[in-house]
Structure formats: structure tokens, C-alpha cells
């Protein structure tokens, strides 16, 4: 963000101009929400506070009654300029009088714990029954890590200025933000590799499509059959033309449209396989370990999930083609992988990026804040449904990602598409769904991206 702002300023746009765009853009949203009701703006000492004065000024000029509370005078030249433009009285302290409150105490400059009058204001905001709007980020949040440095009210709306910050996609910060909207300020963000994932769009199969061209996905089952069956049911609806379950077990409950191959070795050798999936229900014994080695030997685009992530280690990975592999760990599996590959870091984001760097794999770290890292890219995602917190939804995700991978062979793209399809399926299946309900909802979810 700082680099983008510097580039804009080098190209001749002043910081004041950027602040006006940010403040005026935010004020438009606030006016829409406030709908004529009086507004309180809390202004901090930096440029986030500067945005606050522009917001207050813009709203006043629209005819809004505005209260401004600023415990400290502005400390930056641009914020001082903004303060000077706001002609109305500023209170150093006071009660939050109005039904809409806009928090401009700190933005990405927050560098330490919030204390004193700033802390008191955020505490007051927490217990106030007003409509709460955070400008750029909630003021108790560190914008790079999403960690909490002060009281954290539950906001109704967070207006990101210019670009998404990492905190917008990270827990616990993201859960406090309410709806999130981006206010563009004309920055050139081309070439930035760490971004919020853009909603994908899919196409219907090509006119000359047939099942193999659309991709043959081989799902290698293990000791516990249910998980791979769930993955297969989701995969059949997520794009691949042909989904095969490779299993030595009898499958009386497998649907008629799912091909079950009992000779696993022969089916794994099939040159027509476009992608492989291994891990759900695989168990963690020597049989599973041999199977994982065998899967990696094929050097096909592959999704590894669940038990496979407990078996994966540097020796296993030797000789595999990491550029074709993606792993889909939840928190516990991520910890296990970090242990196996000697990765230590404080935050989930750093663990994911380091694991990607050490292994060369595409890492899709699931959870309430999904993080995807592959190549030089990091992607964050809009929050998904919390109804996803039920057993088996990870197997469904693995099936969807593998199905996308069978279609085009690009692990990063497959993961990104997979997260969107999974979240959309959850939205359509909510509330209170089982993993098989979710797998079935992949079909209508698909329609949302066509």
C-alpha cells in the first residue's frame, strides 16, 4: 500500500489529493448508510485521522450534523491540512452522541498497543448501540498481521481505502469488520502479488469437449471409504469430465455414475489421468505411506489432503514435481507440515508462506481465514459461511479443487476456483448442512460462476 501510494505521489498526485479521494469516497458510503442521521467521527493523530476530517467536512457540506472527537491534534502535515479545511468545532473528548460513528483513530500506521484516551474511545464505541464504521481498518487492528492491539468493537461496515490490507482477510481481525467495501483512490495495483482473490468466472465445456478433454480425475481411496466418496461426489459436479474412484474395497453405496476401479495400481498407471487426489480417509499407516509415494511418483497434477498431509515429509517430496502439487491443510495439518519441514513462524500467514517457500508446493490453508500461497502469489478470500465448520467439508473442498485441477492442471488456479465454489455451495446449502448436502450444492454453485 505504501509503495503504491509512493508511486502515485512520484507520478504527481499529492498525498492531500489521495486523502481527499479516500475521505470523499468513504463519505459517500457513510451518507448512504446514515441516510440523514447525525454522524460522529473519531479522529486520530495520523493520516487515518486526516481521512476523518475530510469525511466530516464532506458530510457537513452535504448538510449532515457532524460531531468530531479528536483526543490529539493532527501530527502529519497532510492531516493538519485536512483539519484546517474542517471549519467546525472539534472536541478533545466527549460522549458519542450520534447513531452512526465513524472510527478514524488509526489506520495502517498503528504500531503499538492502543492506550489512554484512544483506548477509552474504542471501549466506549464497543458498548455503544450505534452503527459502527471503521475507516481503512478497525483502529485496534495491526493492518499487516490482523493482530489485535486495542479494544475491538464489532463494526457493521469497514471501508478499505485504496487497496485491501492483509488484515482484511485474516482472523481475528476480519471477523470484527462487518461488511467490507473497497473505496478506490486511483492507485495502480498492477503487478502486486498479494491480493484479495477476485471472483472467478467459468465457461461451459468447449463445443468439441469430451470426457477426457474435460479431465479424468483419479481419486485414490484408503482405509476409510466415506471421505473419498464425498470428495468424488463433489468432484463429479465441479468440472472434471470423468471421476474415477480407485479402491480395493467393495462399494455398494457408490452412485452409478461413479466409476470404481478395483485394480488401483493399473488405474494409477493410466496415462489418461489428468489429476490425482489422495489423502481423505487414507489412514496414516505404512500402506498409506506406500500409496502416497506411489501417487507422487506419477508426477501428475495432484491434490494432497487430510492423512496424506500427516505422511508428507522432505524425503517423500524428493523426486516429486512440486510445481504440480497442491496441499489443502487445516490448522492442525498445517502445524504438522510445518513440523515436518522445519518451518517456524508466529502467524498462520507467515507459516503458509514459509512452507510454500521451503517446499515449492501450492499451499491452500483452510479455515475461517483461508490463505492461498503458490509461486510468488498470496491470495486472501472473502469470508465463507461459518456453517462450513462441520466434518467432511474439507473432503468436499479437496474433491472440488482436484476436479478443477483435472480440467486445466494449474494448482494455484484450481485452489482459487475451489475456494469460491466451496463457499458458494456453502452459501446455497446454508443453514445447517451435512457434507453430502454441500457436495450436492456444488451443482447450483457452478451456475453462479458461468
Ligand X SMILES: NC(=O)C1=CN([C@@H]2O[C@H](COP(=O)(O)OP(=O)(O)OC[C@H]3O[C@@H](n4cnc5c(N)ncnc54)[C@H](O)[C@@H]3O)[C@@H](O)[C@H]2O)[C@@H](O)CC1
* Binding positions for K ion, rule: CB under 5 A: 103, 135, 139
11 is a contact residue toward ligand X (CB under 6 A): no
Nearer to ligand X, 142 or 395 (CB): 142
Which of ligand X, K ion, none lies near 111, with the C-beta cut-off 5 to 8 A by kind? ligand X
Of the two residues 34 and 160, which places its CB atom closer to ligand X in the complex?
Answer: 160
Q: Which residues, 20 to 59, sit near ligand X by CB under 6 A?
A: 22, 44-51
Q: Is the dihedral of CA 361, 365, 369, 370 positive or negative?
A: positive
111 is in an annotated binding site: yes
Q: Is 139 or 370 the residue whose CB approaches ligand X more closely?
A: 139
Residue 342 annotated as binding site: no
Checking 150-153 for CB contacts under 8 A at 24+ apart, the result is 150/110, 150/113, 150/114, 150/118, 150/119, 150/122, 151/114, 151/119, 151/122, 151/123, 151/125, 151/126, 152/122, 152/126, 152/176, 153/103, 153/122, 153/125, 153/126
Shortest Å distance, C-beta 139 to ligand X: 8
Which of 79/309 has CB closer to ligand X?
79
What character string, x for contact with ligand X (CB under 6 A) and - otherwise, covers 70-109? -----xx-----------------------------xxxx
Q: What's the CA gap between 401 and 407, in Å, rounded? A: 10
Query: Is residue 12 near ligand X by the rule CB under 6 A?
Result: no
DSSP secondary structure of 372-436: EEETTEEEE-----GGG-STTHHHHHHHHHHHHHHHH--HHHHHHHHHHHHHHHHHHH-SS--HH
Q: Residue 243 in 3-state DSSP?
A: strand
In the bound complex, what is the minimum distance in angstroms from residue 44's beta carbon to ligand X? 5
Residues in the chain: 450
Q: Does 15 bind ligand X (CB under 6 A)?
A: yes
Minimum distance of ligand X from residue 15's CB (angstroms): 5
Residue 110 is assigned to a ligand binding site? yes
Q: Are 86 and 52 in contact (CB under 8 A)?
A: no
188 annotated to a ligand binding site = no
- Work out how close the CB of 86 gets to ligand X at its nearest, in angstroms, rounded to a whole number: 14
CA–CA distances in Å: residue 335 to residues 309, 326, 330: 10, 16, 9
Min separation Cβ 136 and K ion, Å: 5
| Grid cell in block for residue 273 | 489421468
Angstrom distances, CA of residue 314 to CA of 259, 334, 371 = 33, 15, 22
Binding residues for AMP: 366-370, 394
Annotation: binding site for (6S)-NADPHX: 47-51, 107-113, 136, 227, 281, 330, 395
Residues that bind ligand X (CB under 6 A): 5, 15, 18-19, 22, 44-51, 75-76, 106-114, 118, 135-136, 161-162, 185
Binding site as annotated, residues for K(+): 48, 103, 139
Amino acid at each position: 500500500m505504501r509503495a503504491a501510494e509512493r508511486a502515485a505521489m512520484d507520478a504527481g498526485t499529492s498525498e492531500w489529493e489521495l486523502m481527499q479521494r479516500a475521505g470523499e469516497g468513504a463519505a459517500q458510503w457513510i451518507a448512504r448508510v446514515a441516510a440523514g442521521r447525525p454522524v460522529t467521527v473519531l479522529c486520530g493523530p495520523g493520516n487515518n485521522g486526516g481521512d476523518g476530517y475530510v469525511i466530516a467536512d464532506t458530510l457537513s457540506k452535504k448538510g449532515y450534523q457532524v460531531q468530531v472527537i479528536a483526543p490529539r491534534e493532527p501530527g502529519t502535515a497532510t492531516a493538519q491540512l485536512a483539519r484546517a479545511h474542517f471549519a467546525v468545532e472539534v472536541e478533545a473528548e466527549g460522549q458519542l452522541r450520534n447513531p452512526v460513528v465513524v472510527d478514524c483513530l488509526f489506520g495502517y500506521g498503528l504500531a503499538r498497543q492502543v492506550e489512554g484516551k484512544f483506548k477509552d474511545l474504542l471501549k466506549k464505541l464497543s458498548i455503544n448501540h450505534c452503527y459502527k464504521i471503521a475507516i481503512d481498518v478497525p483502529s485496534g487492528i495491526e493492518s499487516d498481521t490482523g493482530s489485535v492491539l486495542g479494544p475491538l468493537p464489532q463494526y457493521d461496515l469497514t471501508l478499505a481505502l485504496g487497496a485491501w490490507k492483509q488484515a482484511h482477510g485474516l482472523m481475528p481481525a476480519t471477523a470484527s469488520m462487518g461488511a467490507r467495501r473497497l473505496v478506490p483512490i486511483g492507485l495502480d495495483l498492477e503487478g502486486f502479488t498479494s491480493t484479495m482473490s477476485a471472483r472467478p468466472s467459468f465457461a461451459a465445456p468447449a463445443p468439441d469437449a469430451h470426457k477426457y478433454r474435460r479431465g479424468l480425475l483419479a481419486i485414490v481411496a484408503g482405509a476409510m471409504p466415506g471421505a473419498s466418496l464425498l470428495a468424488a461426489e463433489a468432484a463429479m459436479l465441479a468440472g472434471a469430465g470423468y471421476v474415477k474412484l480407485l479402491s480395493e474395497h467393495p462399494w455398494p453405496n457408490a452412485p452409478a455414475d461413479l466409476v470404481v476401479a478395483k485394480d488401483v495400481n493399473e488405474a494409477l498407471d493410466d496415462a489418461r489421468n489428468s489429476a490425482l487426489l489422495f489423502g481423505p480417509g487414507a489412514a496414516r499407516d505404512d500402506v498409506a505411506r506406500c500409496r502416497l509415494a506411489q501417487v507422487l511418483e506419477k508426477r501428475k497434477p495432484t491434490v494432497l489432503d487430510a492423512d496424506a498431509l500427516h505422511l508428507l515429509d522432505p524425503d517423500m517430496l524428493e523426486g516429486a514435481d512440486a510445481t504440480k502439487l497442491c496441499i489443502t491443510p487445516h490448522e492442525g495439518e498445517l502445524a504438522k507440515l510445518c513440523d515436518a519441514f522445519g518451518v517456524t513462524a508466529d502467524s498462520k500467514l507467515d507459516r503458509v508462506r514459509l512452507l510454500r517457500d521451503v517446499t515449492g508446493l501450492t499451499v491452500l490453508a483452510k479455515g475461517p481465514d483461508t490463505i492461498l500461497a503458490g509461486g510468488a502469489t498470496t491470495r486472501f478470500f472473502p469470508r465463507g459461511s461459518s456453517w462450513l465448520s462441520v466434518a467432511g467439508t474439507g473432503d468436499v473442498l479437496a474433491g472440488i479443487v482436484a476436479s478443477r485441477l483435472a480440467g486445466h492442471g494449474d494448482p494455484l488456479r484450481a485452489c482459487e476456483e475451489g475456494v469460491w465454489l466451496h463457499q458458494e455451495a456453502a452459501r446455497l446449502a446454508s443453514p445447517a448442512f451435512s457434507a453430502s448436502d454441500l457436495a450436492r450444492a456444488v451443482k447450483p454453485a457452478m451456475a453462479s460462476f458461468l
